[in-house]
Structure 1
Amino acid sequence: MRFSKYQGIGNDFVMIADPDDQITLDPEMVRHLCDRRFGIGGDGVIRVAPGDSDSELFMDYVNSDGSIGEMCGNGIRCLALFARAEGLTSASEIKVGTRAGVKTVTILEDGDVRVDMGPPEFDPKDIPVDWSGDPLHAKIELEDAVVEAACLSMGNPHAVVFVDEPDLVPLSTIGPAIEKHAMFPKGANAEFAVVESPERVRMRVWERGAGETLACGTGACAVAVASRLLRDTAEVVTVVLPGGELVVEWSGSPGDGTSVFMTGPAVKSFEGEIEL
């Protein structure tokens, strides 16, 4: 099977073109492809299939552990450049169907990719999170602590925790504890962030289904939204992740339907063939 490897600020994906919509990404195959020693290596697999009446293409995204992903911000930027390179589209503005709805992706003149990520969701049943109070101040009871998190959805569930220093967070223990907490019936991505200035936020992320990654596009959007609402940051912020930086724009307020926009790079690493 032919593939390409792409990365968006270190968040890396195995990309597969499927113009005839004939390939099934079963969990075992995805785990093999994402294995960094016995496969290709990646945080997930993206199959690019034909769209429908509302979209030109469809992003079939599966996490490295074989679980289905509704949306991937870094992945959809990679998809745009991959689709152009594979001749699946010639457009600079592409309507891409995802399990979180149709997203508009624009390839800019400088090569970066801008994505209309849609509006954030704050209704606990839409995130989803089992919390009866304000989801921006949810209390997560862990074994040895109670953590306050801003919970919201960017097409997938996020729990944003503000800390003094993200680098000091024991991510390998607290990350999976939040990801798999009973409060989140579909699991959650856990972000740990600090506001460095009104225009700059730094974070680390534990991704649902992938573990710690160098970057998470939807997570950066969730952090930017939570920072604006709870830490009074600007409408346009640079979000700094271990793998690089993203620019996130949001001028809305909860429930008003204003989209979040994310801009960042995507890079092809290599291509090849693999026997399955």
Structure 2
Amino acid sequence: MKFTKMQGAGNDYVYVDCTQNELKNVSEVAVAVSDRHFGIGSDGLILIKKSDKADFFMEMYNADGSQGSMCGNGIRCVGKYVYDNGLTDKAEITVETLSGIKTLQLYPGSDGKVKTVRVNMGAPILQPEQIPADIHAFKNAEILKNVDRLVAQPISVDGKDYEVTCVSMGNPHAIVYLDKNVDLKAFELEKIGPMFENHPAFPDRVNTEFIQVCDSENLNMRVWERGSGETFACGTGACASLVATVLNGLCNDTATLHLLGGDLKITWDKKENTVYMEGPAETVFTGEWLLKEEN
């Protein structure tokens, strides 16, 4: 299996061109290649396929083998892959995902290779049942019966109360705000992250973003992704966090999200009700993975 390792703001995936050939036992392959000690090392596996609805189809799997609907950093790298490898010569392409068709604007550098990508991520989903989020697991369950969004709502996790804002960008996100005096780098994400991920409030599990507001245009972020654990970046999470922070009145409609792996510029165009994400996409290396015989 020929592959390319790519990363967007430190969110790394193994990419395989499946426009001509299918890959079998994909979930098992995803687990194997993602292992950072015995595999290639990644946050998951992304297959690039043909689509009868868009220019390409992105099929993504998390490091634990579970299939994901959408990955903002991953889709930017898809754009770079197809352009740099001659699968398209268009600077604007469409990519079908399980959460809909996304439009990508590709920005090549002087060497003809794509450096940054701007993605139309679509409209944020705020309705609890569509995220999905089970209001009965929130502390104000009775009050929440008639609300159409969950903004700064208290929830108990491991005996401690947190206020969360819930947004879906094709996958579910719970956004939590930390005080500026908290050391974000020392925050015990590996302990609290799994408790959020598997909380009964989130029937499909959840990605959780922990945010510190620096000012109206800059946010610091760490993220725990369902199925992958902590990652250096999460594109949909950055988009959801911007939307949540705007809803909480804590930042402008455009802000830069500072993640462990780099920066992402996010804009929520309220008139269009569309979120745009712009950030880097880089190739790390290419190689061949020896598949098991049954694959």
Match for residue 116 of structure 1 among 116, 120, 135: 120
| 1-structure distance, mates of 2:158, 2:103 | 41
Match of 1:225 among 243, 246, 251: 243
Q: TM-score scaled by structure 1?
A: 0.95
- Distance in 1 of aligned mates of 2:225 and 2:27: 17
- Of 139-148 and 113-122, more deviation after overlay is shown by 139-148
- Give the fraction of aligned pairs with identical amino acids, expressed as a percent: 43
Paired residues, what number?
Answer: 272
Is this contact kept in 1: 2:213–2:250, CA < 8 A? Answer: no
1:214 equivalent among 211, 228, 232: 232
The gaps in structure 1 that reach 5 residues or longer are: none
Q: CA deviation at 1:109?
A: 4.4
Give, in angstroms, the shift of residue 21 of structure 1.
5.2
Structure 1 residue aligned with 2:277: 262
Counterpart AA for 2:132: P
Question: Map of 1:85-124 to 2, 5 A cutoff?
Answer: 85-110=84-109, 111-124=115-128
Q: Matched residue of 1:38: which SS?
A: coil
**Cα distance, 1:188 vs. partner?**
0.3
SS at match of 1:148: strand
Find out whether 1:55 has 2:54 as its counterpart. yes
Question: Which of 180, 188, 191 is the matching residue for 2:206?
Answer: 188
Paired with 1:259 and 1:251, the residues of 2 have a C-alpha distance of 5
Task: Determine which of 235, 250, 261 is the counterpart of 1:243.
Answer: 261
Kept after mapping to 1: 8 A contact 2:152/2:248? no
> Which secondary structure state, in structure 1, belongs to the residue aligned with residue 95 of structure 2?
strand
Name 1:174's counterpart in structure 2.
192
Q: 5+ unaligned residues in a row in structure 2: which ranges?
A: 110-114, 136-140
Name the CA distance, whole Å, in 2 between partners of 1:61 and 1:197. 34
2:71 match: 72
The DSSP-based 3-state class of the residue aligned with 1:220 is: helix
TM-score by length of 2: 0.89
1:42 pairs with 2:19 = no
Q: Which amino acid aligns with 2:167?
A: L
What residue number does 1:2 align with? 2
Change (3 A) 1:201 1:218: same
SS in 2 for 1:42: coil
